[in-house]
Amino acid sequence: MDAAPRRTLAAQPLLVAGGISVHYHATAALDEVDLDVHRGEVHAIVGENGAGKSTLLRSIAGAVQLSAGSIRVPRGARIEWVPQETELPPDLRVSEWLFLARELSGKLGWLRQRAMRDAATAALAALGCTAAPSASIRSLPIVQRKQVQLARALSGQPDLLLLDEPTAVLGQAETEALFSAVRAQRERGAGILYVSHRLDEVLALANRVTVLRDGCRVSTDPIAAVDTATLVRRMVGRDVPPRARGDAVLGPTALDLVNVAVAHVRGVTVAARCGEVVGLAGLVGAGRSEVLEGIAGLRPLRSGQLQLAAAPVLVPEDRASKGLVRTLNLRYNLFLPAGGCLLRSTRERSEAREWIARLRIRAPGSEATIDSLSGGNQQKLLLARALRRGPALLLLDEPTAGVDVSVKAEIHGLIRQLATAGAAIVLASSDLPELLALCDRILVLHDGEVAGVLAASEATEPRLAALMTGALGEAVHTQ
């Protein structure tokens, strides 16, 4: 490509996406989103978990099918996409991966190993990465794997660069190096779509910023026209529902964590009393599930003290992989783990029918297959399994993920009933209105650390969102 046509094209956008929608089954991950990216600009995309940021990049990269709308890029434009999480082939060497399917070869078709190694070293050095080109990917720590992935995209001389949370695993120095590399791409004339939940990064790097919420585009502005507070307000955007919980009658302490470290999370100190609902807020990867799994004894604690007054019962997130056994029917899943010596199937059937009625699970009967239940009813079945054991300490991980509004309201009702009946509940959720409606206190995690603990009276969506994204520099503690 020579320089002349590029200059004439510069006036019009590099990428024009018009009214794009992406549906997964019945839910809209993206709903009629318009977007354009010019050459020589960094266009940032921000939004809460599940707002549709990653889906947007995936649809532009061609990794998901559009349900509606169109995406236009000039013919022959090179697009490089760096997804948030990728499995790199662990047995390839770094330079082999960097040049995979674009190997440098000489006249006779021999690979130019030395040239590729040198180019790899240069590409990695530009990101401040010290990994050797001959090292196997398996041997690299997660930070360097990310850098290798970024180096491959940057060295491809892309016209359009799609970066999805590129700094999530990077430290300060690596982030700085990435920023200068991204700026260099911009100088070169590339257009960059930059997804991040770190608003400070967005403000430092982007030319324009688009806010997504629930799959819809809320706004697109030049970066000078917005600040952190405006962005957070637009990301969250909903009216805070009236507080539904009155003054809870609190009993003795059911759960006491002192300075607990589990997985990548550290320094968690929190207690829950009987009759209390304690919330766990945080972005994806902040460590909410890890804390719950640590309490439930499914993960070893690295340090700290855990005191339990009752056996905890966990309702895990991700019904499909951690929740239900699809080869077994509804009844078998409800009575898991099964107890007693000889199982009484007649008694189990009638008890299963009682639970189906009590939680209004829509199922053809106690012997229904799991696949015949909708997602919301599968979630109710998981709750029934936990409730059947009459737990005094209940750990809920995203109990309303992917369920419709009416089921959500029913589940919220159940949680309140349980708390009123004297159970201690720890509720992890990415749904801020849910946390605000149900919890007496909310512990906010950010990057594996406690960013703050807010009492119900002081918690607001903007405040939670600010703590979750790390926009508030210092930890906040209120009681």
Partner 1 sequence: MNPPARVRLLPHLVSGWSAALILLLEFGFFALLLAPRDGGPHTFANASNIALILKYSSIYGIAAIGAAMIIGAGGIDLAPGAVIALASVVTGDLFVGGGWPLWAACVAGVGVGIGSGALAAVLVTAASLPPFIATLGVMGITRGAAFLITEGRFYDLSARVASGMAPLGVALALWPGVIMLVLTVVFQVLMVRTALGRHILATGGNEVAARYAGVRVGRVKAFVYMSGGALAALSGVVLAVVQGQGKADVASGYELDIIAAAVVGGASLSGGRASVVGAVIGSLIFGVLRNALTQVPRGTFADRLILGVAVLVIVVMDRLATRERN
User: Could you tell me which stretch among 114-122, 187-195, 316-324, 455-463 binds partner 1 (CB under 8 A)?
Assistant: 316-324
329 binds partner 1, rule: CB under 8 A: yes
Taking the complex as a whole, how short is the minimal distance between the CB of residue 289 and partner 1, in angstroms?
Answer: 11
Q: Does 338 bind partner 1 (CB under 8 A)?
A: yes
Site string for partner 1, 265-304 (x = CB under 8 A): ---------------------------------x------
Q: What one-character-per-residue DSSP string does 100-168 give?
A: TTS--B-TTS-B-HHHHHHHHHHHHHTTT----TTSBGGGS-HHHHHHHHHHHHHHT--SEEEEESTTT
Closest approach, Cβ 413 to partner 1, in A, equals: 24
When asked if residue 224 is in the footprint of partner 1 (CB under 8 A), the reply is no
357 binds partner 1 (CB under 8 A): no
Give the burial class of 163: count Cβ atoms within 10 A of its Cβ; 0-12 exposed, 13-18 middle, 19 or more buried.
Answer: buried
**Judged by CB under 8 A, which of 30, 131, 151, 314 binds partner 1?**
314
Question: CA–CA separation, 204 vs 417, rounded Å?
Answer: 47
Determine, following the binding rule CB under 8 A, whether residue 349 of this chain makes contact with partner 1.
Answer: yes
One of 269, 372, 374, 460 touching partner 1 (CB under 8 A): 372
Q: Give the span between the Cα atoms of 455 and 278, in whole angstroms.
A: 10
Instruction: Say how many residues touch partner 1, by CB under 8 A.
Output: 31
- Segment lying near partner 1 (by CB under 8 A), choices 146-154, 164-172, 220-228, 361-369: 361-369
Position among 16, 28, 216, 328 found at the interface with partner 1 (CB under 8 A): 328
- The minimum distance between CB 369 and partner 1, in angstroms, equals 6
- Please report how many Cα atoms fall inside a 13 Å half-sphere around the Cα of residue 473, on the Cβ side: 1
CA distances to 190, 193, 207 from 43, rounded to whole Å, are 11, 5, 6
Among 76, 242, 300, 339, binds partner 1 (CB under 8 A): 339
Which C-beta is closer to partner 1: that of 327 or that of 479?
Answer: 327
Residue 324 in contact with partner 1, rule: CB under 8 A: yes
Q: What is the CA radius of gyration of the chain?
A: 25
Instruction: Return the range that interacts with partner 1 (CB under 8 A); candidates 66-74, 75-83, 367-375, 409-417.
Output: 367-375
Q: CA 151, CA 181: separation in Å to the nearest integer?
A: 9
- Cα separation values, 15 from 55, 60, 166, 207, 381, Å: 16, 9, 21, 15, 45
Q: Is 263 in the site for partner 1 (CB under 8 A)?
A: no
325 near partner 1, judged by CB under 8 A: yes
Asked if residue 343 binds partner 1 (CB under 8 A), the reply is yes
323: alpha, beta or left, given left = phi > 0 and alpha = psi -120 to 50?
alpha
Distance CA 469, CA 236 (A): 12
- Closer CB to partner 1, 191 or 402, in the complex: 402
Q: Are 323 and 378 in contact (CB under 8 A)?
A: yes
Under rule CB under 8 A, residue 172 binds partner 1: no
- Rounded to the nearest 10 degrees, the angle between the axes of helix 375-388 and helix 345-358 is 120
Binding site for partner 1 (CB under 8 A): 298, 314, 316, 321-329, 332, 335-343, 349, 364-369, 372, 385
